[in-house]
Structure formats: C-alpha cells, structure tokens
Amino acid sequence: MIQLEQILTPGRSQVNVPGGSKKKILEHIAKLLASDCAELDEDSLLDSLIARERLGSTGFGNGIAIPHCRLVGCTQPIGALLHLESPIDFDAIDGAPVDLLFVLLVPETATDEHLELLRQIASIFDRSDIREHLRNAPNDQALYQAFLTAQTEAGVK
C-alpha cells in the first residue's frame, strides 16, 4: 500500500499560492508538477485536471478541494499540497470558497489504490483541527511537516 508521505514532497507543498480563479490554480498545479516531474507534460496535465473538474467539482467542503485525475505517462501516484493566499470559488459542494488543495495524480490504470489514497486524504481534511493547523503553517516546509503530522494524528496509514 502506498503511503501519503511517498507521494508528497516538501517541494510540492506551497503556502501563499496566488489564487485568482479555479483555472489559474489548475494552471499553477500543472506548471508545478510538470517542472518537478520530468515525465509529466504540463499541457496534458492541465487538460486532464480541467476535464476532471467538468465531471463535477473536486471541492470537498470546508474550504478544501482535492483535484485529481488519471494521467497517461504517470507511473506512480503524485501529490501536491497548496494553501492559497486567499480563498477562491471552486464550485465546492457546500458553496464555501477553497483555500486548501491536495492534488492527486494517478496512473491511467490505477484502481482501488487510487480510491484508497483519495479516502485517506479526505479523512485527514475532515478534521477541523487539522485544517486549522495546515492553514496556520508559516512556510512550505512547515506545511509539509503539518501534513505528515496530520496523517499520523488522523490514524491514516
């Protein structure tokens, strides 16, 4: 079983990310992940994220979104964690603007493992104390560490 700390890196954990709009955030995510993972193509990643959002918003509620997609060329799950400098409309199920995002990319052939990772991420973000801790992280490294700590606190393996 893949652990969340295996798919998230300090370099893909960012605070004070400029928001603006859902599209701008998805563009930022595509640029960030394509620059960090040589096997990913920024344009096809952006297209895949937008296509997934068209199926239904990945806005989870409580200011959280979990943009995710299956991706050709992706060989293992890849994660990124962003805290926006100001919340944006993400068409979340509760109508609340989003300021915390966990991005999950999985191989095109992913199955139960993909769903299990989404479940783990959702269970971490389900706790208000954890959301507060993540929102208060002063820098990228602190955000990364706060997520690893949250994973342990939430009992996610």
CB contact at 8 A, 46 and 27: yes
Q: What are phi and psi of 31, to 5 degrees?
A: -65, -45
Rounded Cα distance, 126 and 25, in Å: 22
Residue-wise DSSP of 82-122: EEEEEEE----TT---EEEEEEEEEETT--HHHHHHHHHHH
Token pair belonging to 136: 């208060």
Count how many domains the chain has: 1
pTM of the model: 0.94
What pLDDT, on a 0 to 100 scale, did the predictor assign at position 126?
A: 92
SS3 44: helix
CATH of the domain at 129: 3.40.930.10
What average pLDDT score do residues 21-46 get? 93
What average pLDDT score do residues 94-119 get? 90
Rounded Cα distance, 155 and 92, in Å: 26
Token pair belonging to 90: 């993400």
pLDDT beyond 70 at 157: no
What pLDDT, on a 0 to 100 scale, did the predictor assign at position 72?
A: 83
Identify the domain containing residue 31 by its residue range. Answer: 4-153
The one-letter amino acid code at 84 reads L
Rounded Cα distance, 65 and 131, in Å: 12
Residue 68 falls in the annotated catalytic set: yes
User: Which residue out of 28, 68, 83, 114 is catalytically annotated?
Assistant: 68
Residue 27 CB partners (closer than 8 Å, separation 6+): 46
Token pair belonging to 4: 């969340």
